[in-house]
Amino acid sequence: MAKVTLENISKHFNEVVAVQDFNLEIEDKEFVVLVGPSGCGKTTTLRMIAGLEEITQGNIYIGDRLINRVPAKDRDIAMVFQNYALYPHMTVYQNLAFSLEMRKLSKKEIDERVKEAADLLEIPELLHRKPKQLSGGQRQRVAVGRTIVRKPQVFLFDEPLSNLDAKLRVQMRGELKKLHERLSSTIIYVTHDQVEAMTMGDRIVVMKDGFVQQVGKPLDLYFHPINKFVAGFIGSPTMNFIETRLIASDNKLWVEADGFKLKIPEEKARNLQNYINKKITFGIRPQDLSKASAPIKGETIEAFVEIIEPIGNEIYLDVKSGRDSLIASVDPKTKVVPRQNILLQANLENIHLFDIENENALL
Ligand code: ATP
């Protein structure tokens, strides 16, 4: 197993900048997830590591070995794609054995590796079946198995769960995570699904338009997003963003919107002097709004309930406060009806503020 280092990696397809100045050190045995919206450069990054795409600029190392010019087949990397691309006319056993036969391993060695991978993935009873006799989840396991038998230094996964239904995706998420522990291998995993990224990654790399926005542990990104894009991308339902004005009065700082005025906690008020009387974007997660029974100056928001969405473990309230729309995720036992005026308590410890121009976080 090995560490992977990406140093100033860029990829341009003529005038299209797919990836720009990508820098990252992935530790040995780390599970790193690249996440971002469609077209942000995730797959291109993975393909450059795999050697399937030439890099325009920069260096890629596996361990201490510079691999820029090493052909894909000699990189000791295995990749699982979104479409599993199993050979339909071969049995699961033959699918697993194929790459080892190409490498001319002995029959005994191949048999041992195939059976070891099948045990690890809990599919030994499927070895004689053809891919069309398998469920989506089983096919996915075989695709992973094909990489395991090769015992590569690094595993690359490109949206491997996106063909599965929602329930199976959740199950496979857990299985891949367990597998990572058992293999204790370096994994680089691409997804556009932030929940998948949050639940699986030791660290997450959020990308947008070819640029890395932020690298961090899941909860660091959730609680301390570096800009409005990361704040909006991580977390569900997405963070509420409202254009407000920063006001100084009574020796305190406040954010003032059309329908509310909230007090900024003292420890968050430092470094905001330059923004007084200016517009800033205020951010609060739906989970940081709960129903209040009485108004508290600077802490509660008067809101009009438009839509109620019971999810089960929480209720989403689509509310209006003045001209602004907000979503609150409240306790499922909360008593509330549509078209009701309510008070929402804001958890001020968890508010976010962003520069309205460059969208960088201010707290
Ligand atoms: P998705 O989630 O949709 O797969 P992605 O984040 O993986 O998206 P990439 O596939 O890496 O994005 O593409 C990044 C950018 O590079 C996109 O603008 C894409 O159109 C462009 N691109 C990718 N491959 C090529 C190519 N062979 N020729 C030209 N442009 C390309």
From 42, 53, 156, 189, mutation site for ligand 1 pocket: most ligand atoms within 8 A of C-beta: 42
Whole-number percent of the chain with pLDDT over 90? 80
- Distance, in Å, from the CA atom of 98 to the CA atom of 85, rounded to the nearest integer, reads 13
Domain boundary among 208, 233, 258: 233
Task: Please give the pLDDT value at position 15.
Answer: 92
- Looking at the fold, whether 210 and 321 belong to one and the same domain comes out as no
Query: What mean pLDDT do residues 74-92 have?
Result: 88
- Distance, in Å, from the CA atom of 92 to the CA atom of 140, rounded to the nearest integer, reads 11
Task: Please give the pLDDT value at position 25.
Answer: 97
Average pLDDT of every residue of the chain = 93
Domain around 56: 4-233
- Looking at the fold, whether 216 and 284 belong to one and the same domain comes out as no
- Distance, in Å, from the CA atom of 339 to the CA atom of 185, rounded to the nearest integer, reads 53
Strands 203-208 and 31-35, by their bridges, are parallel
Query: What mean pLDDT do residues 321-338 have?
Result: 95
Q: Is the pLDDT of residue 164 over 80?
A: no
Task: Please give the pLDDT value at position 295.
Answer: 95
Give the model confidence (pLDDT) of 170-218 as tens digits: 888 888 888 888 888 899 999 999 999 999 999 999 999 999 999 999 9
Instruction: Count the alpha carbons within 13 Å of 247 in the hemisphere toward its beta carbon.
Output: 13
- Looking at the fold, whether 217 and 262 belong to one and the same domain comes out as no
- Looking at the fold, whether 214 and 259 belong to one and the same domain comes out as no
Q: What's the gap in Å between 38 CA and the centre of ligand 1?
A: 8
Q: Which residues pair with 353 in a beta bridge?
A: 282
- Looking at the fold, whether 245 and 227 belong to one and the same domain comes out as no
- Looking at the fold, whether 217 and 164 belong to one and the same domain comes out as yes
- Looking at the fold, whether 208 and 303 belong to one and the same domain comes out as no
Q: What's the gap in Å between 18 CA and the centre of ligand 1?
A: 6
Give the model confidence (pLDDT) of 10-21 as tens digits: 999 999 999 999
6, 285, 295, 330 from 318: Cα distances, Å: 43, 13, 20, 11
Task: Please give the pLDDT value at position 121.
Answer: 83
What DSSP element (H or E) covers 86? none
- Looking at the fold, whether 244 and 291 belong to one and the same domain comes out as yes
Q: How many domains does the chain have?
A: 2
Residue 360 within a domain: no
Domain boundary among 182, 214, 233: 233
DSSP 264: P
From 11, 12, 13, mutation site for ligand 1 pocket: most ligand atoms within 8 A of C-beta: 13
Query: What mean pLDDT do residues 320-338 have?
Result: 95
CB atoms within 10 A of CB 361: 18
Confidence category of residue 359, pLDDT binned at 50, 70, 90: very high
Length of the chain, in residues: 363
Q: What's the gap in Å between 226 CA and the centre of ligand 1?
A: 25
Give the model confidence (pLDDT) of 120-152 as tens digits: 888 899 999 999 999 888 888 899 899 989 888
- Distance, in Å, from the CA atom of 5 to the CA atom of 65, rounded to the nearest integer, reads 10
Tokens of 58: 């920069």
> Residue 101 CA to chain centroid, in angstroms?
36
145 lines ligand 1 (CB under 6 A): no
Give the model confidence (pLDDT) of 219-273 as tens digits: 999 999 999 999 999 999 999 999 999 999 999 999 999 999 999 999 888 889 9
- Looking at the fold, whether 179 and 213 belong to one and the same domain comes out as yes
139 lines ligand 1 (CB under 6 A): no
Residue 109 within a domain: yes
Kindly report the CA angle at 92 between 187 and 161, in degrees rounded to 5? Answer: 40
Q: Let me know: does 109 contact 143? Beta carbons within 8 Å.
A: no
From 9, 16, 38, mutation site for ligand 1 pocket: most ligand atoms within 8 A of C-beta: 16
Task: Write the DSSP string, 185-252.
Answer: -EEEEEES-HHHHHHH-SEEEEEETTEEEEEE-HHHHHHS-SBHHHHHHSSSSPPEEEEEEEEEETTE
184 lines ligand 1 (CB under 6 A): no
Q: What's the gap in Å between 361 CA and the centre of ligand 1?
A: 28
Instruction: Count the alpha carbons within 13 Å of 55 in the hemisphere toward its beta carbon.
Output: 28
Q: Is there a cis peptide before residue 218, judged by omega within 30 degrees of 0?
A: no
- Looking at the fold, whether 224 and 126 belong to one and the same domain comes out as yes
Domain boundary among 186, 210, 233: 233
Kindly report the CA angle at 278 between 261 and 221, in degrees rounded to 5? Answer: 75
Task: Please give the pLDDT value at position 1.
Answer: 57
Q: What's the gap in Å between 6 CA and the centre of ligand 1?
A: 19
- Distance, in Å, from the CA atom of 82 to the CA atom of 102, rounded to the nearest integer, reads 23
Q: What CATH number corresponds to the domain at position 106?
A: 3.40.50.300
Kindly report the CA angle at 320 between 315 and 326, in degrees rounded to 5? Answer: 55
> Residue 114 CA to chain centroid, in angstroms?
32
Task: Please give the pLDDT value at position 136.
Answer: 82
Give the model confidence (pLDDT) of 20-79 as tens digits: 999 999 999 999 999 999 999 999 999 999 999 999 999 999 999 999 999 998 999 999
- Looking at the fold, whether 23 and 155 belong to one and the same domain comes out as yes
Task: Please give the pLDDT value at position 122.
Answer: 84
Tokens of 300: 């509660």
Tokens of 255: 């954010």
What DSSP element (H or E) covers 22? strand 16-26
- The residue that leads in pLDDT, 341 or 166, is 341
User: Ligand 1, atom 15: nearest CA belongs to which residue?
Assistant: 18
Residue 126 within a domain: yes
What are the residues whose beta carbons fall under 8 Å from the beta carbon of 151, sequence distance 6 or more? 113
19 lines ligand 1 (CB under 6 A): no
16 lines ligand 1 (CB under 6 A): yes
pTM: 0.92
- Looking at the fold, whether 90 and 147 belong to one and the same domain comes out as yes
107-120 and 136-148 helices, crossing angle to 10°: 130
Q: Is the pLDDT of residue 115 over 90?
A: yes
